[in-house]
Amino acid sequence: MPEFSLPFLAIVGFIAALVLLYAGRNIALHFGLVDRPGGRKQHEGAVPLMGGLVILPVFALLTLISGLYAISPISYLIGGVLFLLSIGFLDDKFHIHAWVRFVIQIWVACYVVVFCDAALYNLGNLFGFGEVDMGPAGKPFAVVCLVLLMNAINMMDGLDGLAAGFVTIAIGWLALAAYNAGSLIQFSLMICLIAPLLAFLVFNARYPFHERASVFLGDGGSLALALLLGWLAISCAQIPETSNVEVQILSPVVIIWIMSVPIIDTFAIFFVRMKQGRSPFEADRLHLHHKILDSGIPAHWATPIIWGIAVVTGGIGYLASQMGVPDYILLYSWSALWLGYTAYRLKHA
């Protein structure tokens, strides 16, 4: 239970992140922690890569002053998140080899699954023939999901405000579900994360009188945020042994709907790359936000469009579950959406 009121925590987190982001931009520029245009990167000038270096420490500080940090899974989680953030910082500064980063992601995902109670043991009645019990496969399956989500969010971070905005929207749906389920711990954690995220979007998103991002997340920020989002999603979809939650907050299939944008886009692009005879992990300009930009839609509209899609898909999953729609109907309808989008991308590849 938090020792301070949530509105107080949210205000403190928002203001602290605003101040640190504003002050930290010049420090990042001085030390060369910047992203420079070139290749697939089409932004203007050198942009500080210190969004994650503010968002995640502020989140950790809020969990500390609220008393949430004293809960053992959360304290272990913060440790894993900050470790991944530090590796991302080194990557932003010195460019760690891609395979080394991938191995570290797997290691951190294993750590979170083992020490932060993040296994996926029950997937619900996905196919209409009874509960899908993962058994011993629950832990490795969770590791795979966390690693895939980290890379999907990282690849999504190619347009001002896009990745941070999506994470905020996804956590917003999870927070609504946690609040309605009476899960104060999960809800409080999400508020502690949303506050600095909103402050970051003040500098990262495009809006009137702010034509382009003045701060980027950095690889460490996007990976650490994705790890946090993944753990929060699993904690809502399962009932961990060490948790105070007495009921399942959300069915796992609803999580898929909430994460639809990066998951569907990433898997569709994998098939497109293989059709073209290239590595499915090769970097390119095939993502949804690239295609929207290539169609002639300006960047300041592209991000809100994808945000809107994320709000709609998350809303469909959440509201359908509240109305009692069976898990297998949600899975089959989501699969139709995924297959339809993939077929379209393959046809126009």
- Residue 238 vs residue 85, higher pLDDT: 85
Residue 189 has pLDDT above 90, yes or no: yes
- How far apart CA 87 and CA 91 sit, in angstroms, is 6
Mean pLDDT of the 103-119 span:
93
Distance CA 128, CA 265 (A): 26
Which comes out higher in pLDDT, residue 278 or 203? 203
pLDDT of 241 higher than 60? no
More confident residue, 41 or 111: 111
To the nearest 10°, report the CA torsion of 115, 153, 212, 90: 50
Which two tokens mark 249? 């907050």
* Strand 47-48 relative to strand 34-35, pairing: antiparallel
Q: Which residues pair with 49 in a beta bridge?
A: 216
0.75 exceeded by pTM: yes
Condensed to tens digits (0 to 9), the pLDDT of residues 281-336 reads 777 888 999 899 988 998 889 999 999 999 999 999 999 999 999 999 999 999 99
- What is the CB-side half-sphere exposure of residue 190 using CA atoms within 13 A? 25
pLDDT higher than threshold 70 for residue 42: no
